[in-house]
Amino acid sequence: MCLAIPAEVMSIEGAYALVDIMGVETKVYILLIEEPRIGDHVLVHAGCAIERIHKEYYSFLEEQYKSILDRDGQVDG
């Protein structure tokens, strides 16, 4: 099974962006997305931003992942 994680683009440098994934910043490849911009909400899979998503969907997915992690004892509050 493959999972894509919601992220927010914080900065862009060439073919890569610094993204925030639930409070963790990481660098991902962004050239699979047409005209990526700072502030975009994207799905990240295998180190690549693969799709731009709406903020509402981003918020929904982030809450779902936090809920799953919280049940497994991985996230505090």
Q: How far is 75 from 34, CA to CA, in rounded Å?
A: 33
Q: How far is 6 from 52, CA to CA, in rounded Å?
A: 9
Show the beta-strand stretches assigned E in 14-68.
Answer: 16-21, 24-29, 41-45, 48-53
- Map out the domains of the chain as residue ranges: 5-71
What lies within 8 Å, CB to CB, of 13 at 6+ separation is none
CATH for the stretch 5-71: 2.30.30.140
The pTM of this model reads: 0.83
Instruction: Report whether pLDDT(77) > 60.
Output: no
- pLDDT digits 0-9 by tens, 55-71: 999 999 999 988 888 87
